[in-house]
Amino acid sequence: MKILYGIQTTGNGHLTRAKEVISILNKRAEVDVILSGPKTNKISLNHPIKHHYRGLTFFYTKKGEIHWLKTLFKNNFFKLFIDIFHCPLDSYDLILNDFEPVTAWSCYLKNKKCVALSNQYSLFSDKGPKLKKRFQTTLKMLRYFAPATYGYGLHFKKFDDNIFLPIIRKKIRKVKVSDMGYFLVYLPSYGIEEIKNVLITFPNSNWVVFSPEIEKSELENNIQWEPINETTFLKNIASCRGVVTSAGFSTLSEAMYLKKPILTTPIASQIEQAYNAEMIREMGGKVIKKFSVKHKKEIQKWILDPKVIAVELEQKNYEVVDRILLDYIKSLLNLDQVRLN
The CATH number given to whatever domain includes residue 279 is: 3.40.50.2000
Amino acid identity at 328: Y
How far is residue 148's CA from residue 137's CA, in Å, rounded to a whole number? 18
C-beta of residue 182 within 8 angstroms of C-beta of residue 148 = no
pLDDT per residue as tens digits for the range 171-199? 999 999 999 999 999 999 899 999 999 99
pLDDT at residue 335 in the model: 58
Strands 218-220 and 183-186, bridge-based pairing: unpaired
Is 220 part of a structural domain of the chain?
A: yes
Amino acid at 183: F
Residue 328 in this model has a pLDDT that exceeds 80: yes
Q: Look up the pTM and report it.
A: 0.89
118 with 191, same domain: the answer is no
Average pLDDT over residues 298-326: 94
Q: 80 with 189, same domain?
A: no
b (16+ CB within 10 A) / e for 78-116: eebeebbeebeeeebebbbbbbbbbbbbbbbeeeeebbb
Residue 7 belongs to what domain range?
Answer: 2-165+316-340
Q: Are 324 and 153 in contact (CB under 8 A)?
A: no
Asked whether residue 298 falls in the same domain as residue 182, the answer is: yes
Within this chain, do residues 61 and 119 fall inside the same structural domain, yes or no?
Answer: yes
**Residue 80 pLDDT > 80:** yes
72 or 150, greater pLDDT: 150
Separate counts of helices (H) and strands (E) for the chain: 12, 14
Total tally of structural domains belonging to the chain: 2
Is 309 inside a domain boundary?
no
Q: What SS3 class is residue 105?
A: helix
For residue 320, what is the DSSP state? H
CATH of the domain at 84: 3.40.50
Q: Is the pLDDT of residue 341 over 60?
A: no
Name the amino acid, one letter, at 274.
A
Residue 142 included in any domain? yes
> Do residue 35 and residue 100 come from a single domain?
yes
Taking only the tens place, the pLDDT of each residue in 137-183 is 677 778 889 999 999 999 999 989 999 999 999 999 999 999 999 99
Q: Are residues 13 and 157 in the same domain?
A: yes
Are both 153 and 7 inside the same structural domain? yes
Rg (CA), the chain: 20
Farthest-apart Cα atoms in the chain, separation: 75
Same domain, 321 and 181: no
311: in domain? no
Task: Output the pLDDT for position 72.
Answer: 72
Comparing CA positions, the residue from 275, 131, 252, 122 lying closest to residue 187 is 252
| Residues 147/120, Cβ–Cβ less than 8 Å | no
DSSP state at residue 42: -
**Percent of the chain surpassing pLDDT 90:** 71
